C-alpha cells in the first residue's frame, strides 16, 4: 500500500483541524508536520482536543525546512497568505490550498473582491463540476497544485449546475439564499461571532453582491455552460456550528417541460458517490450531512412562478472544505476518489 506523508499548515484552525480529523481515517496517509503562526509551540490538543491521537503533537512554525520532504502539504491559511508559502515548495510536492488565493481565473475580480495582488490560478478542486460536458475530476490526476472551492460555492454550484448545463433555466436570473453555520467564519474573535450575539439569532452578511464567493460561483456556472450569469447571493448566519443549507432558484427557460427537470439531475448525479438526490418529497437537512463528505439535494418546480427551486445541504467543513480537498488529493495521486471519506453523517 502506498504511504503518503502529509503536512498541514494552519493546523490550529477549523479547516486544518478538519483535514486532520479526516486524514486520521485515510489508510494511505502518514501525518507529518503540523504548523501554525501565533499558535506555534503549543500542543495541537489545546486547539483540537477531539483529535486525541494527535493531541500531544507540538505545532511547529511554518518554514520551508519544516515542510520539506512531504508528499502533500495542505494550506489552511487566511486569504492572501498561501501564495508566499506555496512559492517555497517544489513541484514534487502536491500543494492543496484550502483558502481563496488561487480559485479565481480573473485577476481583476480578485482585486475587486479580495484586494491585493492576485497570486495566480491553480487547478480547481471540485471534482463534480461540469466542464464542457465532462467533469473537473478529469483534470486533476497528476497535478501538483489544487485550489479548493469556497464552501458556499460548493453548495450553490452543485445545486444549480445540472439545470444550467441542460439549458433548463435562465442563468441571468438566479437567486441563492443560504443558512450558514458559524464555523464558516473561522476562529478569529469578532463581536458578531460571540455566543451572546449569535445564540438565538439569525443575521445576514455579505449582502448586496459583495460576498467574496460571488465571482467564484459565476465562474463555475460559466464552465457548466452558461453564456452569462447573474446571481443574487445572500448568506445568513444561523445558530449552528456546522452546515450550509442553500436554496437556489432560477427562472425556467421558455418551453421547458417540467418533467424533464428531475431527469436532468438524475443524469448528472446518479453515479456521483458523494452527491445524493433525495427521493421526491424528502428535503435535505444539514444534520444529515454532519461530518460526512456528502451533498444532499432536492428540487421542485414552482409552476406559478415558473421557477426551479433547488435545496442543497453540506457540511461546510467537510464537503465544503476538507473532504473536498482530500477527494481532490486522491484524484491527483491516482488513488480511488472515495478513499478515506465517509458518506455517513451524525444525526441527531
**Tell me, what CATH number does 131's domain have?**
3.40.50.720
Total structural domains within the chain: 2
Claim to verify: residue 36 and residue 74 sit in the same structural domain: yes
Claim to verify: residue 173 and residue 306 sit in the same structural domain: yes
Claim to verify: residue 35 and residue 183 sit in the same structural domain: no
Asked, for residue 268, whether it belongs to a domain, the answer is: yes
Cell of 214: 460571488
Cis before 22 (ω within 30): no
Question: Which residues are CB-contacts of 247 (< 8 A; sequence separation ≥ 6)?
Answer: 176, 177, 178, 309, 310, 311
Claim to verify: residue 201 and residue 103 sit in the same structural domain: no
Claim to verify: residue 263 and residue 307 sit in the same structural domain: yes
Distance of CA 99 to the CA centre of its chain: 10
Asked, for residue 60, whether it belongs to a domain, the answer is: yes
What residue spans of the chain are helical by DSSP H?
A: 14-23, 64-67, 82-86, 107-113, 151-165, 195-198, 214-223, 259-269, 323-333
Cβ proximity of 141 and 123 under 8 Å: no
Cβ proximity of 194 and 250 under 8 Å: no
Asked, for residue 344, whether it belongs to a domain, the answer is: no
Quick one: CA dihedral 125, 103, 320, 266, positive or negative?
negative
Asked, for residue 340, whether it belongs to a domain, the answer is: no
Asked, for residue 338, whether it belongs to a domain, the answer is: no
Angle, vertex CA 121, rays to CA 118 and CA 123, nearest 5: 160
Cα–Cα distance for residue pair 32/126, rounded to 1 Å? 25
Indicate which CATH number applies to the domain containing 204. Answer: 3.30.360.10
Active site residue 40: no
Domain range holding 323?
4-149+319-333
Task: Quote the pLDDT of residue 19.
Answer: 98
Cell of 141: 490526476
Claim to verify: residue 134 and residue 242 sit in the same structural domain: no
Count of CB atoms situated within 10 Å of the CB of 91? 8
Cα–Cα distance for residue pair 163/157, rounded to 1 Å? 10
Asked, for residue 163, whether it belongs to a domain, the answer is: yes
Claim to verify: residue 192 and residue 121 sit in the same structural domain: no
Claim to verify: residue 245 and residue 295 sit in the same structural domain: yes
Please report how many Cα atoms fall inside a 13 Å half-sphere around the Cα of residue 222, on the Cβ side.
12
Cell of 100: 481563496
Cα–Cα distance for residue pair 256/332, rounded to 1 Å? 38
Claim to verify: residue 123 and residue 156 sit in the same structural domain: no
Claim to verify: residue 132 and residue 228 sit in the same structural domain: no
Cell of 18: 478538519
Cβ proximity of 56 and 86 under 8 Å: no
One of 95, 126, 151, 246 is an active-site residue; which one? 151
For every one of its 348 residues, what pLDDT tens digit does the chain have, with 9 covering 90 and above? 789 999 999 999 999 999 999 999 999 999 999 999 999 999 999 999 999 999 999 999 999 999 999 999 999 999 999 999 999 999 999 999 999 999 999 999 999 999 989 999 999 999 999 999 999 999 999 999 999 999 999 999 999 999 999 999 999 999 999 999 998 887 777 888 888 888 899 999 999 999 999 999 999 999 999 999 999 999 999 999 999 999 999 999 999 999 899 999 999 999 999 999 999 999 999 999 999 999 999 999 999 999 999 999 999 999 999 999 999 999 999 999 999 999 999 988
Claim to verify: residue 329 and residue 305 sit in the same structural domain: no
Asked, for residue 348, whether it belongs to a domain, the answer is: no
Asked, for residue 343, whether it belongs to a domain, the answer is: no
Claim to verify: residue 130 and residue 224 sit in the same structural domain: no
Cα–Cα distance for residue pair 154/149, rounded to 1 Å? 6
Amino acid at each position: 500500500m502506498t504511504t503518503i506523508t502529509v503536512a498541514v499548515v494552519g493546523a490550529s484552525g477549523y479547516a486544518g483541524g478538519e483535514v486532520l480529523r479526516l486524514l486520521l481515517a485515510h489508510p494511505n496517509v502518514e501525518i507529518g508536520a503540523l504548523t501554525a503562526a501565533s499558535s506555534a509551540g503549543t500542543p495541537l490538543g489545546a486547539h483540537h482536543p477531539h483529535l486525541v491521537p494527535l493531541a500531544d503533537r507540538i505545532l511547529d512554525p511554518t518554514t520551508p525546512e519544516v515542510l520539506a520532504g512531504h508528499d502533500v502539504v495542505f494550506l489552511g491559511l487566511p486569504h492572501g497568505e498561501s501564495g508566499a508559502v506555496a512559492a517555497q515548495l517544489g513541484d514534487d510536492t502536491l500543494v492543496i490550498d484550502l483558502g481563496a488565493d488561487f480559485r479565481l481565473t480573473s485577476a481583476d475580480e480578485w482585486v475587486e473582491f479580495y484586494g491585493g495582488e492576485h497570486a495566480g490560478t491553480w487547478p480547481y478542486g471540485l471534482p463534480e463540476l461540469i466542464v464542457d460536458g465532462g467533469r473537473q475530476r478529469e483534470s486533476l490526476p497528476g497535478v501538483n497544485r489544487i485550489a479548493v472551492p469556497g464552501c458556499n460555492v460548493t453548495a450553490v454550484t452543485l445545486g444549480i449546475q445540472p439545470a444550467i448545463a441542460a439549458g433548463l433555466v435562465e442563468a441571468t436570473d438566479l437567486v441563492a439564499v443560504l443558512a450558514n453555520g458559524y464555523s464558516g467564519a473561522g476562529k478569529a474573535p469578532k463581536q458578531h461571532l460571540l455566543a451572546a450575539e449569535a445564540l438565538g439569532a439569525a443575521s445576514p452578511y455579505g449582502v448586496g453582491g459583495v460576498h467574496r464567493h460571488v465571482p467564484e460561483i459565476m465562474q463555475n456556472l460559466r464552465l457548466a455552460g452558461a453564456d452569462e450569469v447573474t446571481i443574487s447571493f445572500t448568506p445568513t448566519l444561523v445558530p449552528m456550528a456546522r452546515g450550509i443549507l442553500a436554496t437556489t432558484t432560477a427562472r425556467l427557460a421558455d418551453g421547458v417541460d417540467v418533467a424533464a427537470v428531475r431527469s436532468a439531475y438524475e443524469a448528472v448525479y446518479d453515479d456521483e458517490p458523494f452527491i445524493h438526490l433525495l427521493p421526491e418529497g424528502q428535503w435535505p437537512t444539514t444534520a444529515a450531512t454532519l461530518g460526512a463528505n456528502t451533498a444532499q439535494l432536492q428540487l421542485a418546480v414552482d409552476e406559478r412562478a415558473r421557477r426551479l427551486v433547488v435545496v442543497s445541504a453540506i457540511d461546510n467543513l467537510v464537503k465544503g472544505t476538507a473532504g473536498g480537498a482530500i477527494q481532490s488529493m486522491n484524484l491527483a495521486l491516482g488513488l480511488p476518489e472515495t478513499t478515506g471519506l465517509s458518506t455517513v453523517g451524525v444525526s441527531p
